[in-house]
């Protein structure tokens, strides 16, 4: 039974680089799933909502929350705060990124998160699972420096605490050869995407060994966590960045049978310079690049919060989070909708390619089913936008989760 009909007068991004010229009509059934996608207006059904452009809902696979607690390290103890704000940024699906912390703090976040995973409230973004940033971390960067090399038993307990909802874990490859990649293999055995990162010490041999270990498993090519950040790059001293810039590996026995990892990048223009982003986008295809926020606060200029003993403040333009009173960048308050405009307006990407890096690619990396594309059988997670890329409506599972008043064209 069709309950909702959405019209895109100029066109729709369907996913995988496909832009369908308008008019495009998407019908939604009583379960919030897409029934049909076509260019013919459904008979005997009135259009519910209309806009020039229709885009798939964005998928943020690296987000620490945008506040709601006294300390940003504990934002996910109050998931409703973040999940209620993300629809305004076009984010319809998110992974909750957890920091390496003591067992009690980790459990507090999970106690709040586990009941809401895959069970979004009306008007709230869907939390599809957990991204664990650590605890097997060589270079902490801005992460808490707590228990960064747990035993296999401690590591297994952390994974078990997530009750099967861990989708991605960041792990430093230089930490693993001494244990024969046993922690990495545990993740692979459970179908968790291994993300290599936070490692300025990893050698080419370490990285190849991690890729070789993953190659023993089906569809398990590793990912790279926020490429360029908490890493190194040199033309002779090979690092994760060198591997992440490869569209294909050299015809060399060292790389036989291996595939380049997918990568993610923080698209705020602060964590990674725009010229560096341009280089990455020249080297890799949209199917290999996911844009993330790596949020720790929402972008309210002057907003302050604590973070593990430090005082933070959102910058005056609402673009970055800094150690209070300094110019030291401490985190992100990025909107994925701003990422879209950055990709199209500054990086020169077409809207279909840009949306892939915000929707289809991150969904595939995290193995989140039925999101990231406008396709029958997928969730009706839809973004209605103007031709100049102003967000008008966010729909999650066919229901309006966010609207900008006065900007929505109704038929």
pLDDT at residue 139 tops 90: yes
- pLDDT given at position 28: 96
Alpha-carbon span 368 to 370, nearest angstrom = 7
In this structure, of 132-146, 200-214, 260-274, the range with the lowest mean pLDDT score is 132-146
- pLDDT given at position 408: 38
Domain boundaries, the chain: 2-55+376-403, 58-365
Q: Which residues are paired to 383 by β-bridges? A: 55, 394
Q: Quick one: CA torsion of 355, 358, 359, 360, rounded to 10 degrees?
A: 80
Dig out the tokens for 94 from the structure.
Answer: 């998110």
250-303 pLDDT, tens digit per residue, is: 999 999 999 999 999 999 999 999 999 999 999 999 999 999 999 999 999 999
Nearest one of 115, 124, 175, 116 to 150, comparing CA atoms: 175
- pLDDT given at position 1: 66
Alpha-carbon span 159 to 347, nearest angstrom = 38
Say what the pTM is: 0.96
- pLDDT given at position 326: 87
Dig out the tokens for 280 from the structure.
Answer: 């990455």
Alpha-carbon span 24 to 195, nearest angstrom = 37
pLDDT at residue 406 tops 60: no
Peptide bond into 133 cis (omega under 30): no
Nearest one of 366, 355, 299 to 94, comparing CA atoms: 366
295-343 pLDDT, tens digit per residue, is: 999 999 999 999 988 899 999 888 899 988 888 888 899 999 999 999 9
| For the chain, the helix, strand and coil percentages under 3-state DSSP, each to the nearest 5 | 25, 30, 45
Which pLDDT band, with edges at 50, 70 and 90, does 375 fall under?
very high
Alpha-carbon span 264 to 207, nearest angstrom = 17
- pLDDT given at position 409: 37
Q: Which CATH superfamily is domain 2-55+376-403 in?
A: Urease, subunit C, domain 1 (2.30.40.10)
Dig out the tokens for 213 from the structure.
Answer: 């270990």
Task: For domain 58-365, give the CATH number.
Answer: 3.20.20.140
Mean pLDDT for 145-161 is 92
Peptide bond into 23 cis (omega under 30): yes
Instruction: Decide if 2-55+376-403 and 58-365 have a common fold.
Output: no
pLDDT at residue 46 tops 90: no
Mean pLDDT for 98-126 is 95
What is the biggest distance separating any 2 CA atoms in the chain, rounded to whole angstroms? 66
Mean pLDDT for 59-84 is 96
Dig out the tokens for 336 from the structure.
Answer: 């994925």
């Amino acid at each position: 039974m069709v309950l909702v009909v959405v019209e895109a007068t100029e066109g729709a991004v369907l996913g995988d680089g496909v832009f369908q010229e308008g008019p495009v009509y998407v019908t939604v059934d009583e379960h919030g799933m897409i029934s049909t996608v076509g260019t013919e207006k459904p008979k005997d059904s009135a259009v519910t909502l209309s806009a020039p452009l229709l885009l798939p809902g964005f998928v943020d696979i690296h987000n620490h929350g945008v506040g709601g607690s006294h300390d940003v390290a504990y934002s996910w103890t109050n998931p409703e705060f973040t999940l209620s704000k993300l629809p305004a940024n076009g984010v319809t699906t998110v992974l909750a990124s957890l920091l390496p912390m003591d067992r009690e703090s980790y459990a507090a976040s999970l106690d709040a998160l586990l009941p809401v995973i895959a069970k979004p409230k009306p008007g709230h973004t869907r939390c599809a699972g957990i991204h664990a940033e650590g605890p097997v971390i060589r270079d902490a960067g801005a992460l808490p420096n707590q228990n960064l090399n747990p035993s296999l038993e401690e590591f297994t307990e952390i994974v078990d605490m997530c009750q099967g909802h861990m989708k991605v874990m960041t792990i430093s490859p230089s930490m693993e050869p001494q244990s024969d990649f046993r922690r990495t293999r545990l993740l692979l055995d459970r179908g968790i995407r291994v993300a290599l990162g936070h490692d300025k010490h990893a050698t080419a041999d370490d990285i190849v060994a991690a890729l070789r270990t993953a190659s023993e498993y089906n569809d398990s090519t590793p990912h790279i966590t926020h490429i360029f950040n908490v890493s190194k790059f040199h033309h002779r001293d090979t690092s994760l960045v060198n591997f992440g810039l490869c569209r294909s590996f050299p015809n060399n026995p060292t790389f036989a049978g291996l595939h380049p990892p997918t990568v993610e990048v923080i698209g705020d223009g602060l964590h990674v310079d725009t010229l560096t982003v341009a280089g990455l986008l020249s080297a890799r295809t949209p199917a290999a690049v996911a844009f993330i926020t790596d949020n720790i606060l929402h972008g309210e200029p002057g907003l302050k919060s604590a973070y593990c003993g430090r005082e933070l403040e959102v910058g005056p333009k609402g673009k970055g989070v800094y150690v209070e009173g300094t110019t030291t960048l401490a985190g992100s308050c990025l909107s994925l909708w701003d990422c879209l405009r950055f990709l199209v307006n500054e990086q020169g990407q077409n809207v279909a390619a840009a949306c892939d890096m915000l929707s289809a690619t991150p969904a595939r990396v995290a193995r989140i089913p039925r999101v990231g594309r406008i396709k029958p059988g997928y969730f009706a997670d839809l973004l209605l936008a103007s031709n100049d890329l102003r967000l008008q409506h966010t729909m999650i599972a066919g229901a309006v989760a966010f609207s900008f008043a006065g900007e929505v064209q109704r038929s």
